[in-house]
Chain A
Amino acid sequence: MASKVIHAYYNDDDILMQAVKKVKATKNHIEEVYCPFPVHGLDKAMGLAPTRIAITSFMYGVLGLIVAIVMMNYIMIEDWPQDIGGKPSFTYMENMPAFVPIMFEMTVFFAAHLMVITFYLRSRLWPFKKAENPDPRTTDDHFVMEIEVYGDEKTLMEMLKQSGAVEINKVEK
């Protein structure tokens, strides 16, 4: 895919935010913004959809709770019920108070780990993955806005210069 993109470098988050709003206002498409730290409100300004990762975490938590209940019901009630310290083991509900700690721990275990795994997979993060930031400075103190070029390139360039970019590169992608 031989598409041309412009990398505009900024060295301040406030200038970046203003530039993002300016570029959005002129109906240019911002492909990506690479930041060294989270800039609050940037996702809204760029028009990114809100993340649904918290919802997945809730569902994983429910799954963990179900796994805990099924597991303990099978082990403690169905497979080999025992009289332990006089705690009733005829039905799950009767024995349930003793199972609350494990039910809670399993819920947290599933919700936390599966959510993080989902995050790593969705954001493509794993060992031996190569970083894709266009410039090493984007993890230090520079922000890079990546804009797709189509139509009037000159005015876009001029506008980016005016917006406070410290460096502008044209890159074949």
Chain B
Amino acid sequence: MASHYEAPIRKPLVIGDKDYHDVSVDISAPIEGRANRQWWIVFSIALAALLWGIGAIIYTISTGIGTWGLNKTVNWAWDITNFVWWVGIGHAGTLISAVLLLFRQKWRMAINRSAEAMTIFSVIQAGLFPIIHMGRPWLAYWVVPIPNQFGSLWVNFNSPLLWDVFAISTYLSVSLVFWWTGLLPDFAMIRDRAVKPFQKKIYGLVSFGWTGRAKDWQRFEEVSLVLAGLATPLVLSVHTIVSFDFATSVIPGWHTTIFPPYFVAGAIFSGFAMVQTLLIIMRKVCQLEAYITVQHIELMNIVIMVTGSIVGCAYITELFIAWYSGVEYEQYAFLNRATGPYWWAYLLMMSCNVVSPQIMWFKKIRTSIVISFIISIVVNVGMWFERFVIIVTSLHRDYLPSSWTMFSPTFVDIGIFIGTIGFFFVLFLLYARTFPVIAQAEVKSILKASGSKYKKLREAGKPLYQMPAIKTGKKEVKAAPKSDEKPEGKVSDLLSKLGSFDPAKDKADDLKKVKGIGPKMETTLNQIGIYTFAQVSKMTKTEYDLLDEITGSFPGRAQRDDWAGQAGKLNKNS
């Protein structure tokens, strides 16, 4: 069909011989399987970091902000650095899912789910910092414009800090809704595959009873498109408003009009780096190499390189404008950044953010998984230092040289930061075990255009589908789906393919050894005439379907557990 056409020059986005069912199997495999040792080790480390962070937060709140390394000159440091860093990371998810959707970039479909999850989890970390910094977090609701006991005491809508409250909470809630709406069909897929009643219940609950009617899909696609249209200016506004926290102040080094675009580019830059870090690990651990391909990594590297170059331009523009303005305070602020006592932080920021992504100009490097991973970590470190440089070096040498000072974090500062990293990974690891980590419905919708199986068919000039052969026996019309009688025709059909069991010659095997066959299923199989591993091992998709039709229980179960493969092994052993 013409709608599935894609230029042959485009590389396949789904590699391997995948059809629709394979996508379901691959995406649900990490959820249906058990966590391995590595997962538990990483999870324990993240949990320990989270607990340390909770301890540091409790200490801060019970004792006071004085436990941090802040002083009267540097009165804003790690807290706001961490806040901006986490918010920045939270930009890639919406950018991938919204902006790339508007640009009809199909490669986003393999990564948007995890990128959105990362967005939500990192914005949660970001939100923690202002709340902790309030000192009395139980009064956090005072930032909401509600009538109160103090008479006409309202929040100040002229303040960029209040704009931040509105921007971040709108961003978090809209991202969450966008994410969850996209998850509904995928949760429904897991729900319909679930075997255990508890999982069926949970996934039934979170899938909101998604049914997949044509009208639902029509609305679903429209809602996704409109949400993308709304989220695109929203994501740009969020970091713009975060930059207003600085740009509307009168501190040299902060009071610059370049901040909004520069912060947005930096946010996309750091967000993509974090997506890269997470997905390079995830594709390996969850065995999703067929969906998150080297091409995806390469494309993300290109985005990292481009946004890194924009950030580099912004750094240099800042320096030029400081000199060109003729304002000596502004000039000193930038001279001090580069050559003052914090020169090492400035150098780290410049080399990590401006120099390191430039090696991505070489195709060999940007298609190398190891180097991509290293660069993504380097960029994350560099972007943390960017915020540190902007915040601390602009403050530590103020207008009065007698109050010039340095900032050194206490163990509490460090503890809270480590704690948020732990919290982030705890959330992400739990997500990776329980959520469909790839938007499988969307991947299926592009499979015929961009899957390598169908691309090969198209190149060979073969049709993308085959009409099922009309067999009257198999397509017998059933009176009702829940009939108890076993259609005799099908049973003999099945046995003719698998070979019949002769009690005189053969010995019956214990079919319960095959994972997925219980005592009840064994009885059913015996009733049909299947007694040996040899018979089961001959089963293919057609036989499974036939079996499902006869037994009517657990459709698809046999194929999912690969009974034939298991039985083949057992047959050899016995």
Residues of A within 8 A of B140 (CB): none
Of residues 184 through 223 on chain B, the ones whose CB sits less than 8 Å from some CB of chain A are 184-185, 188-189, 191-193, 204-223
Q: Report yes or no: A169 in contact with B477, Cβ–Cβ below 8 A.
A: yes
Residues of B within 8 A of A132 (CB): 209, 211
Q: Report yes or no: A139 in contact with B3, Cβ–Cβ below 8 A.
A: no
Interface residues on A, range: 35 or more
Q: Report yes or no: A115 in contact with B170, Cβ–Cβ below 8 A.
A: no
Given A35-B217, A85-B158: A102 touches B204 (CB 8 Å cut-off): no
CB of B173 closer than 8 Å to a CB of A: yes
Q: Bound state CA distance, A133 and B188, in angstroms?
A: 10
Q: Report yes or no: A139 in contact with B191, Cβ–Cβ below 8 A.
A: yes
Q: Report yes or no: A34 in contact with B465, Cβ–Cβ below 8 A.
A: no
Least CB distance, B395 to chain A, in whole angstroms = 20
CB of A122 closer than 8 Å to a CB of B: yes
Q: Report yes or no: B20 in contact with A164, Cβ–Cβ below 8 A.
A: no
Out of B159, B207, B230, B465, which one reaches A131, CB within 8 Å?
A: B207
Q: Bound state CA distance, A162 and B472, in angstroms?
A: 11
Closest residue to B465 on the A side, CB-wise? A12
Out of B188, B221, B467, B475, which one reaches A167, CB within 8 Å?
A: B475
Out of A87, A102, A168, A172, which one reaches B475, CB within 8 Å?
A: A168
Report the stretch among B115-123, B263-271, B354-362, B437-445 that lies at the interface.
B437-445
Q: Report yes or no: B481 in contact with A169, Cβ–Cβ below 8 A.
A: yes
Q: Bound state CA distance, A121 and B417, in angstroms?
A: 41
Report the stretch among B149-157, B280-288, B501-509, B517-525 that lies at the interface.
B149-157
Out of A75, A79, A131, A170, which one reaches B188, CB within 8 Å?
A: A131
Q: Report yes or no: A116 in contact with B177, Cβ–Cβ below 8 A.
A: yes
Interface string of A50-94 (1 = CB under 8 A from B): 110110010000000000000110011001101011010000000
Q: Report yes or no: A75 in contact with B154, Cβ–Cβ below 8 A.
A: yes
Interface centre among A39, A41, A106 (most CB of B within 10 A): A39
Residues of A within 8 A of B464 (CB): 14
CB of B145 closer than 8 Å to a CB of A: yes
Given A112-B174, A123-B215, A162-B470: A98 touches B192 (CB 8 Å cut-off): no
Q: Bound state CA distance, A138 and B555, in angstroms?
A: 12
Q: Report yes or no: A170 in contact with B477, Cβ–Cβ below 8 A.
A: yes
Q: Bound state CA distance, A164 and B467, in angstroms?
A: 5
Q: Report yes or no: A141 in contact with B20, Cβ–Cβ below 8 A.
A: yes
Q: Bound state CA distance, A85 and B158, in angstroms?
A: 9
Q: Bound state CA distance, A32 and B482, in angstroms?
A: 21
Residues of B within 8 A of A109 (CB): 170, 173-174
Least CB distance, B298 to chain A, in whole angstroms = 26
Q: Report yes or no: A32 in contact with B205, Cβ–Cβ below 8 A.
A: no
Interface centre among A46, A85, A111, A139 (most CB of B within 10 A): A139
Given A106-B166, A131-B209: A115 touches B226 (CB 8 Å cut-off): yes
Of residues 422 through 458 on chain B, the ones whose CB sits less than 8 Å from some CB of chain A are 440-442, 444-445, 448
Out of A36, A101, A135, which one reaches B444, CB within 8 Å?
A: A36
Q: Report yes or no: A131 in contact with B214, Cβ–Cβ below 8 A.
A: no
Closest residue to A131 on the B side, CB-wise? B209
Given A36-B189, A101-B163: A53 touches B223 (CB 8 Å cut-off): yes
Q: Report yes or no: B208 in contact with A120, Cβ–Cβ below 8 A.
A: yes
Of residues 110 through 161 on chain A, the ones whose CB sits less than 8 Å from some CB of chain B are 111-113, 115-116, 119-120, 122-133, 135-141, 157, 161
Out of B219, B231, B475, which one reaches A122, CB within 8 Å?
A: B219
Residues of B within 8 A of A46 (CB): 214
Residues of A within 8 A of B478 (CB): 169-170
Closest residue to B481 on the A side, CB-wise? A169
Of residues 11 through 50 on chain A, the ones whose CB sits less than 8 Å from some CB of chain B are 11-15, 17, 32-43, 46, 48, 50
Interface residues on B, range: 35 or more
Q: Report yes or no: B21 in contact with A43, Cβ–Cβ below 8 A.
A: no
CB of B139 closer than 8 Å to a CB of A: no
CB of B480 closer than 8 Å to a CB of A: yes
Closest residue to B240 on the A side, CB-wise? A101
Q: Report yes or no: A133 in contact with B192, Cβ–Cβ below 8 A.
A: yes
Out of A14, A75, A101, which one reaches B1, CB within 8 Å?
A: A14
Closest residue to B181 on the A side, CB-wise? A116
Q: Report yes or no: A140 in contact with B230, Cβ–Cβ below 8 A.
A: no
Of residues 119 through 163 on chain B, the ones whose CB sits less than 8 Å from some CB of chain A are 145, 152-160, 162-163
Residues of A within 8 A of B178 (CB): 112
Of residues 216 through 240 on chain B, the ones whose CB sits less than 8 Å from some CB of chain A are 216-223, 225-227, 230-231, 233-234, 237
Q: Report yes or no: A129 in contact with B465, Cβ–Cβ below 8 A.
A: no
Interface string of B471-512 (1 = CB under 8 A from A): 000010111110000000000000000000000000000000
Residues of B within 8 A of A84 (CB): 156, 158-159
Residues of chain A at the chain B interface (Cβ within 8 Å):
11-15, 17, 32-43, 46, 48, 50-51, 53-54, 57, 71-72, 75-76, 79-80, 82, 84-85, 87, 95, 98-99, 101-102, 104-106, 108-109, 111-113, 115-116, 119-120, 122-133, 135-141, 157, 161-162, 164-172
Report 18 cross-chain contacts, Cβ distance below 8 Å, ordered by A residue: A35-B214, A36-B189, A36-B441, A38-B441, A75-B155, A79-B154, A109-B170, A109-B174, A113-B174, A116-B223, A119-B220, A130-B204, A137-B192, A137-B556, A138-B192, A139-B188, A167-B475, A171-B480
Given contacts A34-B211, A35-B217, A105-B166, 5 further A-B contacts (CB under 8 A): A17-B1, A51-B222, A129-B209, A130-B204, A133-B212
Across chains A and B, which 10 residue pairs bring their CB atoms closest together, nearest first?
A129-B209, A136-B192, A141-B20, A80-B152, A125-B208, A37-B444, A101-B163, A37-B441, A12-B465, A139-B189
